[in-house]
Structure 1
Amino acid sequence: MASVESLLEGVQILGKINESHRKILTKEACAFLATLHRTFNTTRKHLLQRRVDRQAEIDKGVLPTFLPETKHIREDDAWRGADPAPGLVDRRVEITGPTDRKMVVNALNSDVWTYMADFEDSNSPTWDNMVNGQVNLYDAIRREIDFNLNGKDYKLRTDRPLPTLIVRPRGWHLEERHFVVDGEAISGGLFDFGLYFFHNAKRLVENGHGPYFYLPKMESHLEARLWNDVFNLAQDTVGLSRGTIRGTVLIETILAVFEMDEIIYELRQHSSGLNCGRWDYIFSVIKKFRNNSQFILPDRSAVTMTVPFMESYVKLLIKTCHRRGVHAMGGMAAQIPIKDDAEANKKAMEGVYADKLREVRAGHDGTWVAHPALAKIATDVFNKHMPTPNQIFKRREDVSVTSNDLLNMNMPGTITEEGIRKNIDIGLGYMEGWLRAVGCVPLNYLMEDAATAEVSRSQLWQWAKHGISTAEGKKITKEYNLQLLQEATERLSSKAAPGNKYQLASRYFATQITGEDYADFLTTLLYNEIVTVGSTAAKL
């Protein structure tokens, strides 16, 4: 076996390391990261190129469908995913949020069953955010996270068990440019997974739960296979049994929905089910078909979970998961309590209740909330309609979903000037926060993250690309979008605190709403602005 020192040859840390970081960025942990990179980065880059090639096919009119080469996997009734792991049998309410120290304590003190600590969509991946997040999770697992902020004590509760911890690393497309191996930036996902697993896997098992993950943004079962290979190497390296790790896959791309059986199959002994990542899924539909005038969606508010293509996605996901014996998790309630308007708050909370009622009746085994105040609503709904720890036994054999069902964009709704302005405000507001290292931004009493910002900019791009007219009769053009963006920039920046990033965000956003250039992700478009690479590498 190669020595730690030999594995560290070619490793450079280009971000600053403070004292708290040193317990995370140890020589042994960095050597483990280097091994992950050298073993899997070539495959990762190949899979990313497959995404580019597949997009070129779609642009030529080749629509996605169920894969003929994996038909035998879909039709085989014999195989199953893994039985639910300790701490993941009952997941009826999961809270999600970034990994800052306050959020970690508040989430783990919430009346929920699991907490998804998010290094991805609700996080701005500055070097400090990424490493401090690892420090916070390390401390929380060891119950060493208690702290005081502005005179207020934050302490983990001791009166009952804490929620099960699940970590969402970054997707395969993102890099961590502050950590370089042999001249290449490491995958952000491998960086997040590797540090968390290396330091905490054995302690988590001792605490009664294993190392559990949410896996984002995948577009094929081959990308799930790569994660499975990563899991096997990681477990073998530290001496844990294969199958100790569990991964729940977010089905948040239009291509992945056609490969759900195959994704569970690739992860079999590591699978803990699938999740409906609703906002990223809508983003993916717009993104993949952005050049096709047959796939133009109305205002975001009209694209509900009950429109044909979304309802088909939900039904097929639940049927697929339960057929394979794994959890089918519902989507996010992004609402924030409206403290200064009781009537508006009542209406918003009734909407949350109705959404969770739809999910549990459809057969979901659990759901997401973004704010602790929503946990009780979700819990009440699931407790009433799901008295068992889950409802995997609901096979949904009544469901039959075709390729055409998944691609059926017929729905009520129009494109309005109000919808354009909302998209601009959301996209601009989120990007401004992200550039200030804030990855989860409250806007209009909704917790907006990267997924909703992506929906906003992709709709604006597509409407301009195809010259759509609004319900008011105004043709949407490049010039029109840019005019409304300038108005929003001036309005929002004039009200914001000094040092805000609205002008910078606006310059980037302006390149994405004209129907011309289209970045693969907003996060990759903006990433250079938050990279803080030093002139020399930090010493390990």
Structure 2
Amino acid sequence: MAALRSVELERPPQALKEEFDTLFNDQSLRFLAELVSTFEEEVEQILNRRIARKVHLNLTGELPNFSEDTAHILSDKSWRVHPVPKRLQRRHVDIGDLSPCNTERFKLGLSSPAQGIQVDFDDGNCPTYYNQIKGLYNVYKVVRNQFPDVPPISRAPLLMLRPRAWNMVEHNMMVNGKEVPGPLFDFGLLMFHNGKLLLQNNSGPFFYLSKIECYKEARLWNKIFLWAEEKLDLPFGCIKATVLIENILATFEMEEILYELRQHSAGLNCGIWDYSASFVNKFGHRPAFLLPDRSKYVNMEKRFLKSYMDLLVQTCHRRGALATGGMAAQLLPQGKDSAPYRRVLATVTRLKLLEIQAGVDGFMVYDLDLIEPMQRLFQMHTSGENQLLVLRDDVSVTSADLLTMPAGGVTLYGLKYNIAVGILFIEAWLTGRGHFFYQGQVEDSATAEISRSQVWQWIRHRARLEDDERVVTRGLVRSLAQELLGELKAHRGRDFRGRETLLTAAHMFLEVVQRRDFPEFLTTYLNLDHMFLSSQDAHRQLEAKDSLNHKL
């Protein structure tokens, strides 16, 4: 019982009593407490190591490169990742950014022809206590075939479970007097309740691991997987995980990351916007790394991104691992015979064909109506379950290829777009939503990260607009933000509470892009900000007037 006495857990809104009581019992809490107690110190070391590495880069002016310390891993041509289960070998089209607390969309995804679903507790999800519990409970129900009119888990699209990244904290649970790391909270509950059933149904447990920056972080996840398999009496290596390579530092260690996870690897994944934002995060104060307008000059055809995808595919296939492309964020307009519909479909087709030709084994879409057209695209241009035999021996990527920024400037349209996405994402978070729709696309934390990163960097380097030579200053950004607020307020009419939230979001966005030092993650800033925390407290207080603290 000592483990349980070390746990403090907040009670959720009364509306979640059944979900809460199902997820949090003595056995699951003991498992969680032991998981956190075992690994929380190493999680802290990872976060401190990130800080130290960034300080070192700033002080020395050095740039990342392929490491000589791991030359023995790179030069050994014999090792391969362990083979993945049959159902993982063919995943041409997955649904991305599916927040599992959205019950109706989750059910639609499960009934779709997609081969997998990125069950997203991270980028596409706002981690309110309500959302986490509802999402975890929905996964619990799916695995037990408790949703009517949904295929059984053995035939439904695979659940690719994506816990939060290392930078996120779960405020509503404490172990040994400290708030617990968000990824351990998510992973622990997902594994405890679902791991064995997923395995029995040849459907998992499979995970996505986001925002990893180096191979030592992959090593920690491997230790966590081994620990969970032993504690839950599961076969060694049954957990499989895809690592999202969305940080420039991780790009130089992709082979080492596969090596550390070789018993548990399901491959690597490309993420264009988080990856692009990481350049600003790590080197944004350097003029040589001024990233031009993403709406005009940043795409997978540019040298630094094409090299990144080519290297990822080559690295994966050389070691027998699957390579996953990015997510199509576009939303198909209504009317299959309409010109807008055909235009959007043609754009998505062109971009995804580039990924297929690069050798990816699959990619993601957000719009469910894109699943079948993209599956047909794969069938037209490939044969077999995957492209593991496409070894890309033609590829020879250098550090210069990965670190050379594309040419281009800043447009007024691009600046306005970035401001809008940044403000609207913060507004979404303040209202408990992890993504929103804007100008025909789904926007989430990845696009919010690149948006606010670019605005911060353009102010810092006093970039000039191509349109009229105006300098991007904080005064110009504030003025454009006010214009946007005026347009949005007029559109929303008498929704005064919504207008107040929007104004708060604008203030927070302006604070972030004007700060002297670059906040590493927008989601960390939001998750720790008093406005977000107080909004969650207010939500709980509406549901329960008794003490929120449940001590075990």
What's the TM-score bracket when you normalise by the shorter of the two chains? over 0.9
Deviation at 1:112, TM superposition (A): 0.9
Counterparts of 1:493 and 1:184, CA distance in 2: 41
Instruction: Say if 1:142 and 1:158 are closer, same or farther in 2 by CA, change over 3 A.
Output: closer
1:508 corresponds to: 508
Counterparts of 1:158 and 1:439, CA distance in 2: 27
Which residue of 306, 309, 331 corresponds with 1:311?
A: 306
- Does 1:380 find its partner at 2:376? yes
1:100-129: per-residue Cα shift (whole Å, max 9, x none)?
Answer: 211211111111111110000000000010
> Does the residue aligned with 1:144 lie in a helix, a strand or coil?
coil
> Does the residue aligned with 1:52 lie in a helix, a strand or coil?
helix
1:257 corresponds to: 251
Counterparts of 1:71 and 1:81, CA distance in 2: 18
- Does 1:451 find its partner at 2:446? yes
Deviation at 1:508, TM superposition (A): 0.8
- Does 1:357 find its partner at 2:353? yes
Which residue of 320, 324, 329 corresponds with 1:325?
A: 320
- Does 1:72 find its partner at 2:66? no
2:49 corresponds to: 50
> Does the residue aligned with 1:511 lie in a helix, a strand or coil?
helix
Judge conservation of contact 1:367–1:378 (CA < 8 Å) in 2: no
Structure 1: give runs of 5+ residues left out of the alignment: 147-154
Judge conservation of contact 1:124–1:439 (CA < 8 Å) in 2: yes
Which residue of 470, 486, 489 corresponds with 2:485?
A: 489
1:450-488: per-residue Cα shift (whole Å, max 9, x none)?
Answer: 000010000000000011111120011121112211222
1:537 corresponds to: 549
Which residue of 181, 184, 192 corresponds with 2:186?
A: 192
Counterparts of 1:160 and 1:228, CA distance in 2: 26
Give aligned pairs, total. Answer: 527
Structure 2: give runs of 5+ residues left out of the alignment: 541-546
> Does the residue aligned with 1:447 lie in a helix, a strand or coil?
strand
Counterparts of 1:506 and 1:98, CA distance in 2: 25
Instruction: Say if 1:536 and 1:15 are closer, same or farther in 2 by CA, change over 3 A.
Output: closer
TM-score by length of 1: 0.95
Deviation at 1:339, TM superposition (A): 2.1
Judge conservation of contact 1:177–1:185 (CA < 8 Å) in 2: yes
Counterparts of 1:244 and 1:251, CA distance in 2: 22
Counterparts of 1:377 and 1:356, CA distance in 2: 11
Which residue of 345, 367, 371 corresponds with 2:341?
A: 345
Aligned alpha-carbon RMSD (Å): 1.6
Deviation at 1:515, TM superposition (A): 5.6
Instruction: Say if 1:158 and 1:71 are closer, same or farther in 2 by CA, change over 3 A.
Output: closer
Judge conservation of contact 1:126–1:530 (CA < 8 Å) in 2: no
Deviation at 1:58, TM superposition (A): 2.4
Judge conservation of contact 1:113–1:164 (CA < 8 Å) in 2: yes
Deviation at 1:514, TM superposition (A): 2.3
Counterparts of 1:15 and 1:483, CA distance in 2: 43
> Does the residue aligned with 1:538 lie in a helix, a strand or coil?
strand
- Of 464-473 and 479-488, deviating more is 479-488
Counterparts of 1:415 and 1:238, CA distance in 2: 53
Deviation at 1:539, TM superposition (A): 5.3
> Does the residue aligned with 1:420 lie in a helix, a strand or coil?
helix
Deviation at 1:288, TM superposition (A): 1.2
2:393 corresponds to: 397
> Does the residue aligned with 1:473 lie in a helix, a strand or coil?
coil
> Does the residue aligned with 1:483 lie in a helix, a strand or coil?
helix
1:279 corresponds to: 273
> Does the residue aligned with 1:18 lie in a helix, a strand or coil?
helix
Deviation at 1:392, TM superposition (A): 0.5
Counterparts of 2:181 and 2:153, CA distance in 1: 39
Counterparts of 2:548 and 2:470, CA distance in 1: 54
Deviation at 1:536, TM superposition (A): 4.1
Deviation at 1:93, TM superposition (A): 0.6
1:29-65: per-residue Cα shift (whole Å, max 9, x none)?
Answer: 1111111111111111111111111111222311111
Judge conservation of contact 1:464–1:515 (CA < 8 Å) in 2: no
2:409 corresponds to: 414
- Of 367-376 and 529-538, deviating more is 529-538
1:223-255: per-residue Cα shift (whole Å, max 9, x none)?
Answer: 001100100110000100110000000000000
1:109 corresponds to: 111
Judge conservation of contact 1:477–1:514 (CA < 8 Å) in 2: no
Judge conservation of contact 1:364–1:391 (CA < 8 Å) in 2: yes
Instruction: Say if 1:10 and 1:468 are closer, same or farther in 2 by CA, change over 3 A.
Output: same
1:432 corresponds to: 427
- Does 1:462 find its partner at 2:464? no
Q: Tell me the amino acid that sits aligned with residue 319 of structure 2.
A: R
Judge conservation of contact 1:278–1:331 (CA < 8 Å) in 2: yes
- Of 14-23 and 362-371, deviating more is 14-23
Q: Tell me the amino acid that sits aligned with residue 133 of structure 2.
A: V
- Of 333-342 and 360-369, deviating more is 333-342
Counterparts of 2:515 and 2:299, CA distance in 1: 25
Counterparts of 2:132 and 2:508, CA distance in 1: 23
Deviation at 1:158, TM superposition (A): 6.6
Instruction: Say if 1:405 and 1:266 are closer, same or farther in 2 by CA, change over 3 A.
Output: same
- Does 1:290 find its partner at 2:305? no
Judge conservation of contact 1:482–1:513 (CA < 8 Å) in 2: no
Judge conservation of contact 2:409–2:464 (CA < 8 Å) in 1: no
> Does the residue aligned with 1:457 lie in a helix, a strand or coil?
helix
- Does 1:98 find its partner at 2:99? yes
Judge conservation of contact 1:66–1:258 (CA < 8 Å) in 2: yes
Judge conservation of contact 1:59–1:291 (CA < 8 Å) in 2: no
Deviation at 1:342, TM superposition (A): 2.5
- Does 1:166 find its partner at 2:160? yes
- Identity between Structure 1 and Structure 2 (%): 39
Which residue of 238, 245, 248 corresponds with 2:232?
A: 238
Counterparts of 1:159 and 1:330, CA distance in 2: 25
> Does the residue aligned with 1:199 lie in a helix, a strand or coil?
helix
Counterparts of 2:182 and 2:89, CA distance in 1: 29
- Does 1:82 find its partner at 2:82? yes
1:299 corresponds to: 293
> Does the residue aligned with 1:111 lie in a helix, a strand or coil?
coil
Judge conservation of contact 1:481–1:513 (CA < 8 Å) in 2: no
- Of 526-535 and 334-343, deviating more is 526-535
Counterparts of 1:442 and 1:139, CA distance in 2: 28
1:499 corresponds to: 497
Judge conservation of contact 1:86–1:209 (CA < 8 Å) in 2: no
Q: Tell me the amino acid that sits aligned with residue 95 of structure 1.
A: I
1:130 corresponds to: 132
Counterparts of 1:224 and 1:52, CA distance in 2: 17
> Does the residue aligned with 1:268 lie in a helix, a strand or coil?
coil
Counterparts of 2:154 and 2:34, CA distance in 1: 39
